[in-house]
Amino acid sequence: MNIEILIGFITATSLLAISPGPDNIYVLMQSIVNGRKYGIATVAGLMTGCIIHTTLVAFGASTILKQNPKVFFAVKLLGALYLVYLAYKVFKSPNTIELEGDAVPKKSMFELFKQGFIMNVLNPKVTLFFLALFPGFLFSDTMSEVLQFYILGFIFILVSFIVFGAFAVFGGTISESIKKNKNIGIYMKWLQIVVFIGIAVYIMVTD
């Protein structure tokens, strides 16, 4: 087992979770409008949905790996290209972070959990992102690929839950910081670009 690979995966996941995106901004606004526990319920729904995507990737990618290493390399290449594409989309996006709390309707905790779950499960981009990210971080030559994908999936879920949970708990403080610091948007934007491209390069240079 290569612990350094796992540390690298945790680092990359943490940086991506911290960078403002649709999911954590959604969590932030639910927390501000409805309260902390409602933000946590939203996070729980989103992260539960990630289990479905992890399962799809675990069995799909592991089958590809066993059948043909060349095909698996092609999957890694497409994954790296997809990450570069995501970096390009971030580059073309605005430098500001939009917070529109007044537009967020109030809902029950269960409704927010269900909505977060459905939002995640019905988003095929999450599976595609996992398929792009996980193959480059397989960390053991003896452990089954399926188990490794599940471990990576649950690490991703745990790290994201902690970071997103912090967005929910400290929603008011975070939103005020974003509003006061006009440059934070561009800092976060370039953080995402660097992380996406860095992971893409890492996936291609590792076996």
State which H helix or E strand residue 108 sits in.
none
Instruction: State how far the Cα of 65 lies from the Cα of 193, in Å rounded to an integer.
Output: 28
**Does 179 score more than 80 pLDDT?**
no
Handedness of CA 152, 155, 157, 159 (dihedral sign): negative
Alpha helix positions (H), the chain? 3-18, 22-34, 36-67, 69-92, 109-121, 124-133, 145-169, 171-180, 184-205
pLDDT score recorded for residue 101? 53
For 47-88, how does the pLDDT look when each residue is reduced to its tens digit (9 = 90+)?
A: 999 999 999 888 887 777 667 777 778 878 888 888 898 889
- Reported as a single tens digit per residue, the pLDDT across 85-140 is 888 988 888 777 666 655 556 778 899 999 889 988 888 888 888 988 898 898 99
Residues 6+ apart with CB under 8 A from 67: none
pLDDT of residue 66: 66
Q: Which one is predicted more confidently, 22 or 56?
A: 56
